[in-house]
Amino acid sequence: MGIIYDAIPTEAVYAKDIYIDNKSPMLFVSEHDDVLCYTGVLFKEKQYDLEMLPYYFEGKHSTHKTVIANVKRFFRISLGCIMLDTFIDNNEYYADKKFKCSECFLKLPRGASTEYGVFSNYDTEETEMTRAVFGMT
């Protein structure tokens, strides 16, 4: 198992059994320390929300008719790049892998603050997760 994976106290579940939550970001860590950081959605009507998922998606799979009708792709940050991707439960590569959901949150640069990273509380940065999400820092 990976260092990041072992440090997360939640129960592991298969990717195909993961539901959408309305918290943002949704951080998932695989047994091999692959970190998937979902931050928002690109809607089919060309609207997007980079930092939040709609409340009405909570508890649904990305294959649910409400999600399919509204969402084109999900925003995911990996190695500092913002990518458009399918959600973890609908990704063939991850379907049979186990993941743990992290309760950490992202700090993104805003206004006068240039601080960014993955944090477990206000001032405790999770260095390994920050590297996985934002690249070398």
Q: How many residues does the chain have?
A: 137
Helix (H, G, I), strand (E, B) or coil at 128: helix
Q: 63-120, pLDDT tens digit by residue?
A: 999 899 999 999 999 999 999 999 999 888 888 899 999 999 998 888 888 889 999 9
Please indicate whether residue 72 or residue 23 has the higher confidence score (pLDDT).
72
Beta bridge pairs of residue 26: 38
Residue 56 has pLDDT above 70, yes or no: yes
Residue 8 has pLDDT above 90, yes or no: yes
Residue 53 has pLDDT above 80, yes or no: no
Residue by residue, DSSP assigns 81-116 as: EEEEE--GGG-TTTTTSEEEEE--EEE--BTTB---
61-64 contacts at long range (C-beta below 8 A, 24 or more positions apart) = 61/19, 61/20, 61/87, 61/89, 61/90, 62/20, 62/86, 62/87, 62/89, 62/90, 63/89, 63/90
- Residue 128, pLDDT score: 93
CB neighbours of residue 116 within 10 Å: 17
Q: Cβ contacts of residue 103 below 8 Å, gap of 6+?
A: 10, 120
Residue 24 has pLDDT above 90, yes or no: no
pTM score > 0.95 for this model? no
Peptide bond into 9 cis (omega under 30): no
